[in-house]
Structure 1
């Protein structure tokens, strides 16, 4: 066998192995998510965490430069040499695929959180309505506590570094049932890709190769605390977006800082309104009338930001990421983000003490 065929062949072997292991979530949970991965995360976050800039983003810039340089150098006769160039691409993808799954990606295949906590994620329209009003009431109360005026939007006074430091406090207060997701060894960064992320429609991401939590610092700051705790949840070994919203919400709501609480409750209130519309068109209208004008101004601030950066680019990335999630145990794709509302409603019904919903 020629050397140039080895890595492409190994890619096929890896895909088969990963998909086979996906059939055994207990094995992945015990041997990877609770065994190997914490050791990898310990090393990665201690190596890169104290570096003041995003090492992972710099790495991506270098890789993109090398990619474009390779394309440029091979532009003449590129399609004529399609076999050689195709094998080169597959070889690099094989390396990427290995490190992605070895360093973090196998967490997609661990035991789902709702199974571990015995949570029923399904809920009725009536249950959602009750829960939505509860979240709106809490959001209104915190907004008024901060501004002393129900018509003023909330503005967070902290720097990005201060937010990243404060974000850890909520993880220290997680309920006992969620002890598996305690957070250690901070590695949270302002993304150097904030502009591209905005055009791609992302508020943040976890770099699986350096285990740095990347936050888009251009988006409205009032919801930055929740974005931060969401990306930190990925660092604890959670692949599911709905579960990261779930853990991120609880971590932010259990933070003693009032701005983190506001970010948490305004976040879940917005998703509750979305889910109401998904269940029955127009159902959210009566709830919108009960929301403080200051809260609605924050909601408008968020919508205006994403509209500003809306182009065919973010539409293309939505399609790509939707399919990426579906290929990695999240059959609802992008809609999986909103599924955490069901987790929260079910979590309350379990009777587990200290749910985080004060």
Structure 2
């Protein structure tokens, strides 16, 4: 067999392997997520965590320039050498696909979090309404505690760097209850691509090749704790967006700092309100009247920020990412971000916030 066919065939083998391994989440959980991945992620974060800028972003920048250069060089010979060019592209994709899954993405196939935490999956409208009212009361309470005035929005007093460090307190408390949420060897950084991320409509991302948690430093600061805790959950090997939203929420509200608690509770409340808006607008309007004006001002602050960058770019990228998630064991796609409401409602069933 000619060497140029080996990597494209390896890509096919990888796809078939992942189709099969999807039926064995317990195997992935034991041998990859709680085995090989723990070692890989620790090495990556220890090696790169102390570097003050994002190595992953730099590598992505170099890769983009290289691809543009390669496309430009091949433009005249594409028709004559199309077969070799296609094989070369498939070869590069094969290597990237392997590294993507070996270094992080096998976690897409692990055991679901609701099974690990023994959380039910279903709930009634009455359950959701009860939980939403509890969230409103708790968020109102913390907003008043911080501002001393229910009409003032919360102004976040910390920098991103301080947030990254203080997030560890929340994870420490959370891991004392659930050992699988233990977080060590921080590698959380402000993304060099924060402006492009903003146009794409994202608050952060995990670089699967360097295991660096990237945070969009341009977004309103009161969102930073929950967003960065979400990306830290990805670093721990949780691939599902709904699960990382849930873990990010828990790590924020378990923090002793009221600003971090506000970030978590206001984040969760916004998703519950969105859920009610889709279910019953009358209930949504009634709930809205019970929320402090200061909280609504923070929501408006976020909405105004994202609206100014609302273009065809974020719509196109969301379509792409929606399909990407569906191809990687997340059948709900982008809607999966809001599915963590299921986890929250059932986790707090019969409990106080």
Q: Distance in 1 between matches of 2:96 and 2:258?
A: 41
Deviations 1:171-211 (A, max 9, x none): 00016552112100000000001001001111100000000
Distance 1:9 1:131 in 2: 51
Change (3 A) 1:80 1:286: farther
Aligned to 2:57: 57
Matched residues in 2 for 1:205 and 1:145: separation? Answer: 32
Q: Is the 8 A contact 2:325 2:333 kept in 1?
A: yes
Give the Cα separation in 2 of the matches to 1:260 and 1:133: 20
State the shift of 1:283 in Å.
2.8
Pairing of 1:148-297 with structure 2 (within 5 A): 148-174=148-174, 176-297=176-297
Residue correspondences, number: 353
Q: Is the 8 A contact 2:175 2:182 kept in 1?
A: no
Matches within 5 A, 1:1-358: 1-174=1-174, 176-349=176-349, 358=353
Give the match's secondary structure for 1:90. Answer: helix
Q: Distance in 1 between matches of 2:279 and 2:328?
A: 26
The runs of at least 4 aligned residues of structure 1 exceeding 4 Å deviation read none
Q: Which runs of 5+ in 1 are unaligned?
A: none
Distance 1:70 1:317, change over 3 A: same
Report the alpha carbon displacement of residue 289 of structure 1 after superposing the two structures with TM.
0.8
CA distance in 2, matches of 1:115, 1:278: 27
SS where residue 214 of structure 2 aligns? strand
**SS class of match (2:213):** strand
Contact persistence 1:125–1:276 (CA under 8 A)? no
RMSD over equivalenced CA pairs, Å: 1.2
Deviations 1:128-173 (A, max 9, x none): 1111111011111111111111111111111111111001110000
The answer to whether the Cα contact below 8 Å between 1:233 and 1:248 also exists between their aligned partners in 2 is: yes
SS at 2:100 equivalent: helix
Consecutive unaligned residues in structure 2, runs of 5 or more: none
TM-score (norm 2): 0.97
Which TM-score applies when normalising by structure 1? Answer: 0.96
